[in-house]
């Protein structure tokens, strides 16, 4: 329960214990997804041969 309280009081990045592999893995996965989405956005917005984004 104390971990949840700390997560609520502090920023998530400050409250994560370094020994918590699951949370670290989740954040790493989330960061990779965010970067991947950003890269796709850059690729789709740049004029180039092939893929064109039309959302």
Mean pLDDT rounded to a whole number for the chain: 67
d(CA 47, CA 32): 24
User: pTM to 2 decimals?
Assistant: 0.34
Domains of the chain, by residue range, sit at: 18-47
Give the model confidence (pLDDT) of 25-44 as tens digits. Answer: 877 888 878 878 877 877 77
């Amino acid at each position: 329960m104390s971990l949840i309280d700390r997560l609520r009081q502090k920023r998530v990045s400050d409250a994560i214990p370094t020994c918590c592999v699951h949370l670290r893995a989740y954040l790493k996965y989330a960061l990779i997804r965010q970067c991947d989405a950003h890269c796709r956005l850059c690729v789709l917005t740049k004029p180039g041969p092939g893929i064109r984004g039309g959302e």
